[in-house]
């Protein structure tokens, strides 16, 4: 099953991802919450999940995203359901 998210909120560090689709590759439970692994087809990212909002027309997940180049920034992702 493919689980897809659209990048809808960024800061300066993650701005290059704005509007991109990220695929969820896995989830790990860690001491203080959840760590999720995402990929854009080229790079892999780790999301230290800080929260989820359930809105009337969307589910938004947000937290701190890191890449394999030692960059960490804020990001918001909108869940895209399979239809």
Domain ranges of the chain: 4-80
Residue 35: per-residue pLDDT? 95
Residue 77: per-residue pLDDT? 98
Consecutive sets of 10 residues in the chain, 83 residues long: mean pLDDT of each?
A: 93 96 95 93 94 96 93 97 85
Question: What one-character-per-residue DSSP string does 9-65 give?
Answer: EE-TTTGGGTT-EEEEEEEEEETTEEEEEEE-SS-EEEEEEEEEEE-SS-EEEEEEE
Give the DSSP letter of residue 70.
S
What φ, ψ does residue 55 adopt, rounded to 5°?
Answer: -100, 170
Query: Is 23 in contact with 42 (CB distance < 8 Å)?
Result: no
Asked whether the whole model's pTM tops 0.95, one would answer no
| Token duo for residue 38 | 């995402």
Residue closest to 40 by CA, chosen among 65, 64, 13: 65
């Amino acid at each position: 099953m493919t689980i897809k998210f659209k990048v809808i909120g960024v800061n300066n560090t993650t701005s290059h991802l704005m509007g991109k689709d990220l695929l969820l590759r896995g989830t790990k439970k860690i001491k203080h919450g959840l760590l999720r692994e995402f990929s854009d087809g080229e790079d892999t990212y780790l999301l230290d999940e800080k929260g989820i909002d359930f809105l009337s027309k969307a589910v938004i997940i947000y937290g701190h995203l890191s890449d394999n180049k030692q960059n960490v920034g804020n990001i918001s992702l909108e869940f895209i359901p399979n239809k």
